[in-house]
A and B are shown apart, each in its own frame.
Chain A
Amino acid sequence: GAGVSQSPRYKVAKRGQDVALRCDPISGHVSLFWYQQALGQGPEFLTYFQNEAQLDKSGLPSDRFFAERPEGSVSTLKIQRTQQEDSAVYLCASSSPPGELFFGEGSRLTVL
């Protein structure tokens, strides 16, 4: 596709449920990033892939968060046993020149 595609766009989960968020980056983009954005805040870094290698996962807030990109293209962010504080917009971005991120529309997660 022409841009970064994320699904689902909206997800409502009951506390304790597991969720999976998908990101399909721009074709040919080696780098892929996940950010979390709370209302009124800037995006917070979660994790970064170069091809299939997860080079930095320092921003993942707990071991309930897990990300993968097994074939170096599509990535999935999984959140286990969701908590209310996980409610946020999860942004995926891919880049070719470093720093020039192209963001998807985001997945808005609401945990009840």
Chain B
Amino acid sequence: QKEVEQNSGPLSVPEGAIASLNCTYSDRGSQSFFWYRQYSGKSPELIMSIYSNGDKEDGRFTAQLNKASQYVSLLIRDSQPSDSATYLCAPGGAAGNKLTFGGGTRVLVKP
């Protein structure tokens, strides 16, 4: 079992729709959770962080965390073609510093 599991996709969504991305992790000691976006040929960039159970909203992005289920998700509302990228889930270790990345979910937003 991988430490961080994501559906590789591609997840195809029409422009304006909601994209829903899921991630499960195995390290129960993880206390911090991050979503990174990676455009093709570029480096990952941080888009969301979440530390507590529940929802956290930032613009069109909402992160959801359920530590009991070891599950974290990302919703992208009003998806735009510029959201087409790979989204990487990354729980932090117990010490918080080292991140373990999932394989990423590729999202394609079609005009």
Of B13-21, B72-80, B99-107, the one with at least 4 CB within 8 A of chain A:
B99-107
A62-92 contact mask (Cβ, 8 Å, vs B): 1 or 0: 0000000000000000000000000000010
Provided the pairs A100-B34, A100-B46 are in contact, do residues A48 and B104 lie with their beta carbons within 8 angstroms?
no
The minimal Cβ–Cβ distance linking B37 to chain A, given in whole angstroms, is: 11
In the complex, the answer to whether B103 meets A104 with C-beta atoms within 8 Å is: no
Expressed in whole angstroms, the Cα–Cα distance for A81 and B42 within the complex equals 27
Interface residues of A in 80-112 (CB under 8 A from B): 91, 95, 98-106
List the A residue with the shortest CB-CB distance to B106: A40
Q: Binding site of A, secondary structure by majority: helix, strand, loop or mixed?
A: strand
A1 within 8 A of B: no
List the A residue with the shortest CB-CB distance to B102: A42
B31-57 contact mask (Cβ, 8 Å, vs A): 1 or 0: 010101000001111100100000000
Which of the four size classes fits the interface of chain B? 20 to 34
Interface residue ranges, B against A (CB under 8 Å): 4, 6, 32, 34, 36, 42-46, 49, 88, 90, 92, 95-104
30 residue pairs A–B, Cβ–Cβ below 8 Å: A31-B97, A33-B99, A42-B6, A42-B101, A42-B102, A42-B103, A42-B104, A43-B44, A43-B88, A44-B101, A45-B98, A45-B99, A48-B97, A50-B97, A55-B97, A56-B98, A91-B43, A98-B32, A98-B96, A98-B97, A99-B32, A99-B49, A99-B90, A99-B99, A100-B46, A101-B36, A101-B44, A103-B44, A103-B45, A105-B42
